[in-house]
Amino acid sequence: MSHYSDLAIHGGRPVRSGKWPGWPISSARTVDNLQSVLDSGRWSISGPYRGTPSFEQQFARGYASYTGARHCVPASSGTSSLTMALEGCEVGARDEVIVPAVSWVASASAVLGINAVPVLTDVDPRTGCLDPAALEDAITPRCRAITVVHLGSAVADLHGLLRVAQRHGVPLIEDCAQAHGAHYDGQHVGTFGRAGTFSMQHSKLLTSGEGGAVITDDDELARRLEHLRADGRTLSGEPPPIDQMELSETAEVMGSNYCLSEFHAAVLLAQLEKLDAENAARRRSAQYLDDLLRQLGCEPQATADATTSRAYYCYVVALPDEVLLHTSVQRFAQALSVELSLSCKPMYASLNDSRLYRPETRRRFALDAEFIEAVRPQRFELPAATEFARRSIALPHRFLLAETSDMLDVQRAMEKVLAHARRL
């Protein structure tokens, strides 16, 4: 075994000092599209019509086609997309919404934001995604929606979840913020439930810095979503005169301003062109790395059996139990980061233990004693989610865009840190 000082976190030489691919990666088309927006005199869908389709609508059509959905309604963020989907499905004050226990905080805070109650629900210990059996146990007569998150590189058990949702007559909303380009049973994720939501935040596989979208096959829901994102307005059926606003004040539904700017839409339209190639490169590297890390006793994140193709937002791997007897996943991730010159992090904490999910810090959620207790995260017992978080680390997807042979550096770094776990 190497000496204690050999660990880079203790001053030793790191396994890798060279750079990994950066993220985001723009293209010539990205620059051209942005210049077109600058020159157009229209920087938002609420700006004056200039005689050509907006980039927002070009992206909406392009992403609907890409996912196989009938409609796509762009939005300003993943959180606003989830908010729109929930309200589009008529979720409101004090309604219960199923939320997977392992996810980014917005999965729960978006529910709270419409004064509904997030019901934190346990996960499949292999995938970290919502568990159909736990879902069955968590549904009550007050449940108005089920949200499922396709987490890391895993696709949830959609067939199992849909059976439960349909049996109870509750709509399923797919949160696909980490799954652009993933397919289940030959179909793009986001098209199984009543709606699929996406985030295009900086770190996402399809990104414009910030942004989002909701996809659906439901014509009525799509029209409601359009109103919800544009202050009760929707795009008129016919192009207006030049210099007039394209949004029509139908006022069918009171909305909010969740509009995606023309700059963001222009970037997304260009980035979409290279998404499939980047996803294919990530899959090749991940499949090779899976075999390398299993040789060390680590277990890469699983996905549902019917998954057709994975999309690697992050590479998640569970550490061996014997290693975690001597160190924490947090400390292990810190040491691995220094060895690889790459930011490696623990997977999300279970939402009942998340530092970011704290409803008590916002007075807007203090409606009454009953509501305060209903949204208190600590009231939920989530053993599978807690264990998944305790064991799992996540590596950012950009490293998977390196050469496949570079995955050997990851194996070497993992082997080195595993060997020194007692001294961490």
Q: Answer whether 334's CB lies under 8 Å from 9's CB.
A: yes
Mean pLDDT in residue range 135-150: 98
Residue type, 294: R
Q: Distance between CA 25 and CA 22 in Å, rounded?
A: 7
Residue 424 has pLDDT above 90, yes or no: no
Fold that domain 4-25+275-349+385-423 belongs to in CATH? Aspartate Aminotransferase, domain 1 (3.90.1150)
Residue 15 has pLDDT above 80, yes or no: yes
Residues in the chain: 424
Residue 236 has what pLDDT?
Answer: 85
Residue 52 has pLDDT above 70, yes or no: yes
pLDDT band at 372 (very low <50, low <70, confident <90, very high): very high
Mean pLDDT in residue range 390-404: 98
Chain segment 290-300, per-residue pLDDT in tens: 999 999 999 99
Residue 182 has pLDDT above 90, yes or no: yes
Q: State the span(s) of the chain assigned CATH 3.40.640.10.
A: 28-273
Q: State the span(s) of the chain assigned CATH 3.90.1150.10.
A: 4-25+275-349+385-423
pLDDT band at 251 (very low <50, low <70, confident <90, very high): confident
Q: What percent of the chain has pLDDT over 90?
A: 96
Mean pLDDT in residue range 158-172: 98
Chain segment 36-51, per-residue pLDDT in tens: 999 999 999 999 999 9
Q: Distance between CA 54 and CA 419 in Å, rounded?
A: 56
Q: Distance between CA 330 and CA 332 in Å, rounded?
A: 5
Residue 1 has what pLDDT?
Answer: 39
pTM listed for this prediction: 0.96
Q: Answer whether 411's CB lies under 8 Å from 289's CB.
A: yes
Residue 115 backbone class (left: φ over 0; alpha: ψ -120 to 50; beta: rest): left
Phi, psi of 150 (to 5 degrees): -85, 110
Chain segment 100-119, per-residue pLDDT in tens: 999 999 999 999 999 999 99
Q: Answer whether 184's CB lies under 8 Å from 304's CB.
A: yes
Residue 5 has what pLDDT?
Answer: 56
**51, 70, 306, 384 from 163: Cα distances, Å:** 47, 23, 15, 22
Mean pLDDT in residue range 325-341: 97
CATH of 28-273, one of 3.40.640.10, 3.90.580.10, 3.20.20.80, 3.10.50.40: 3.40.640.10
Q: Kindly report the three-state secondary structure assignment for every residue of the chain.
A: CCCHHHCHHHCCCCCCCCCCCCCCCCCHHHHHHHHHHHHHCCCCCCCECCCCCCHHHHHHHHHHHHHCCCEEEEECCHHHHHHHHHHHCCCCCCCEEEEECECCCHHHHHHHHCCCEEEEECECCCCCCECHHHHHHHCCCCEEEEEEECCCCCCCCHHHHHHHHHHHCCCEEEECCCCCCCEECCEECCCCCCEEEEECCCCCCCCCCCCEEEEECCHHHHHHHHHHHECCCEECCCCCCCCCECEECCCCCCCCECCCCHHHHHHHHHHHHHHHHHHHHHHHHHHHHHHHHHCCCCEECCCCCCEEECCCCEEEEECCHHHHCCCCHHHHHHHHHHHHCCCCEECCCEHHHCCCCCHHHCHHHCCCHHHHHHCCHHHCCCHHHHHHHHHEEEEEHHHHHCCHHHHHHHHHHHHHHHHCHHHC
Residue 2 has pLDDT above 70, yes or no: no
Residue 194 has pLDDT above 80, yes or no: yes
Residue 384 has pLDDT above 50, yes or no: yes
Mean pLDDT in residue range 338-348: 97
Chain segment 82-97, per-residue pLDDT in tens: 999 999 999 999 999 9
Mean pLDDT in residue range 61-70: 98
Mean pLDDT in residue range 274-289: 98
pLDDT, the chain, mean = 96
Residue 3 has pLDDT above 60, yes or no: no
Q: Distance between CA 266 and CA 39 in Å, rounded?
A: 13
The alpha carbons of the chain give a radius of gyration, in whole angstroms, of: 22
